């Protein structure tokens, strides 16, 4: 069938066109290639790391490491304080410290559970403390004089049990606020209780939460406590902590500059200029008489050592200034080239 000349696109490709398309496909860059802003391919020196835009991390690994060390101290002090309060060993261990969205944090809360909503003055936002009901009932049993045996039932807490456990929760929150006392004085308060995290609306769903999970061992009961605090709540104290660390680092790296004091004005320091011209034997020195002339090299005048209080500090050149002999300082000696001498010019061994 003859090709229609009015149709600009042919229904068939000849072999040359097929070869040209295949060559273009081979030379095309791979789908995963990276280009810089100018459009040219990025070099091999660039380090490329994956980034999850749906779950970005607002804290770097170094910042999370510092927060982890801070919370480890908090856990150690809290374990000792709860053991004294309950008069029974209360073991605590950090299971996880991470950042997740508020929606995911609420989804991870078990059911049934006991949730305490708290505020930290003068910060904004509402935090959530989740304690397993079995652990809460075991603590309540201990507060009522029991032996602290694990309660095997799974139920919600009564009003009396909530009132009993509230003192322990407030103690925990006070200890958590105490870890920030070097940055700002914080005061916790419990503002409510819930038993289901599905309907909580204390923060926007996409708000980021600093979530701390604690493994608790109390008697024969082993359960978890979770603390979730919005990032916008602790952001002011975290920034203060970062600023203080940067300031401490800058102060440590900056050498203290010497300052002149008025009390130095009247201190006198002996100054002496000397040369290391040549060496003589003891017999040659003993034969010297008044009027003898000792020849010196011309370069000796260019290498005059100036000593301050017996310590060589400068190198200078000897010359005449009117009718006086003067030394022009040309360079300062580094510490390794200095030596301490006696008032008569001898070196101290």
Q: Are residues 235 and 344 in the same domain?
A: no
Tally of domains within the chain: 2
Residue 97: what are its φ and ψ, rounded to 5°? -135, 110
289 occurs within a structural domain: no
Cα–Cα dist 113/136, whole Å? 9
Read off the pTM. 0.57
Cα–Cα dist 97/68, whole Å? 7
Q: Are residues 220 and 325 in the same domain?
A: no
154 occurs within a structural domain: yes
145 occurs within a structural domain: yes
- Return the pLDDT at 9: 46
Give Cα 213 to chain centroid, integer Å: 22
Q: Would you say how long the chain is, in residues?
A: 349
173 occurs within a structural domain: yes
What is the extent of the structural domain holding 230?
61-251
Q: Are residues 130 and 200 in the same domain?
A: yes
Q: Are residues 201 and 312 in the same domain?
A: no
Query: Which spans in 254-313 are helix H?
Result: 282-286
User: Per-residue pLDDT tens for 264-322?
Assistant: 888 888 988 888 777 888 888 888 888 888 777 777 778 888 888 888 888 888 888 87
DSSP 177-236: HHTTTTT---EEEEEEEES-STT--SS-TT-EEEEEEEEEEETTEEEEEEEEEEHHHHHH
331 occurs within a structural domain: yes
Cα–Cα dist 222/242, whole Å? 35
Q: Are residues 340 and 214 in the same domain?
A: no
Q: Are residues 105 and 228 in the same domain?
A: yes
Q: Are residues 98 and 234 in the same domain?
A: yes
Q: Are residues 70 and 184 in the same domain?
A: yes
**Helix, strand, or coil here: 92?**
strand
| CA-to-CA separations, 127 to 76, 90, 221, 228, in angstroms, rounded | 21, 23, 25, 6
Q: Are residues 237 and 311 in the same domain?
A: no
Tell me which residue of 139, 141, 128 sits closest to 176, measured CA to CA.
128
Tell me which residue of 167, 202, 161 sits closest to 188, measured CA to CA.
167
232 occurs within a structural domain: yes
254 pLDDT above the threshold of 60: no
46 occurs within a structural domain: no
What share of the chain has pLDDT > 70, as a percent? 77
- Return the pLDDT at 72: 92
Q: Are residues 189 and 330 in the same domain?
A: no
Give Cα 65 to chain centroid, integer Å: 8
Residue of 298 and 340 predicted with greater confidence: 298
Count CB-CB contacts under 10 A for residue 157.
Answer: 20
Residue 50: what are its φ and ψ, rounded to 5°? -70, 150
Q: Are residues 199 and 348 in the same domain?
A: no
Q: Are residues 320 and 184 in the same domain?
A: no
Q: Which residues contact 192 (CB under 8 A, 6 or more apart)?
A: 116, 117
24 occurs within a structural domain: no
Under the phi-then-psi rule, with left for phi > 0, alpha for psi from -120 to 50, and beta for the rest, what region is 70?
alpha
Q: Once rounded to an integer, what is the mean pLDDT over residues 148-169?
A: 87
Q: What's the CATH code of the domain at 232?
A: 3.40.1550.10
């Amino acid at each position: 069938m003859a090709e229609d000349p009015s149709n600009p696109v042919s229904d068939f490709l000849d072999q040359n066109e097929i070869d040209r398309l295949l060559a273009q496909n081979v030379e095309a860059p791979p789908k995963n290639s990276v280009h810089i802003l100018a459009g040219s391919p990025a070099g091999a020196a660039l380090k490329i790391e994956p980034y999850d835009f749906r779950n970005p991390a607002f804290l770097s690994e170094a910042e999370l490491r510092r927060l982890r060390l801070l919370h480890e101290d908090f856990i150690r002090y809290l374990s000792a304080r709860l053991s004294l309060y309950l008069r029974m060993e209360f073991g605590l261990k950090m299971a996880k410290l991470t950042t997740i969205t508020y929606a995911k944090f609420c989804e991870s809360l078990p059911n049934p559970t006991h949730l305490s909503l708290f505020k930290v003055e003068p910060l904004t936002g509402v935090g959530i403390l989740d304690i397993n009901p079995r652990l809460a009932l075991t603590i309540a049993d201990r507060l009522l004089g029991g032996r602290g045996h694990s309660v095997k039932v799974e139920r919600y807490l009564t009003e009396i049990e909530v009132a009993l456990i509230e003192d322990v929760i407030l103690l925990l929150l006070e200890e958590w606020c105490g870890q920030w006392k070097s940055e700002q004085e914080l005061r916790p308060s419990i503002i409510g209780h819930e038993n289901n995290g599905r309907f909580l609306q204390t923060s926007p769903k996409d708000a980021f939460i600093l979530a701390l999970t604690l493994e608790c061992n109390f008697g024969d009961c082993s359960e978890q406590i979770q603390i979730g605090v919005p990032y916008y709540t602790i952001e002011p104290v975290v920034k203060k902590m970062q600023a203080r660390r940067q300031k401490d680092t800058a102060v440590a790296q900056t050498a203290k500059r010497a300052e002149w004091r008025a009390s130095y004005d009247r201190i006198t320091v002996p100054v002496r200029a000397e040369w290391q011209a040549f060496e003589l034997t003891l017999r040659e020195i003993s034969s010297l008489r008044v009027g003898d002339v000792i020849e010196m090299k011309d370069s000796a005048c260019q290498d005059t050592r100036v000593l301050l209080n017996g310590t060589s500090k400068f190198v200078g050149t000897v010359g005449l200034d009117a009718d006086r002999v003067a030394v022009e300082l040309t360079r300062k000696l580094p510490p390794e080239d200095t030596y301490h001498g006696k008032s008569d010019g001898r070196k101290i061994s």
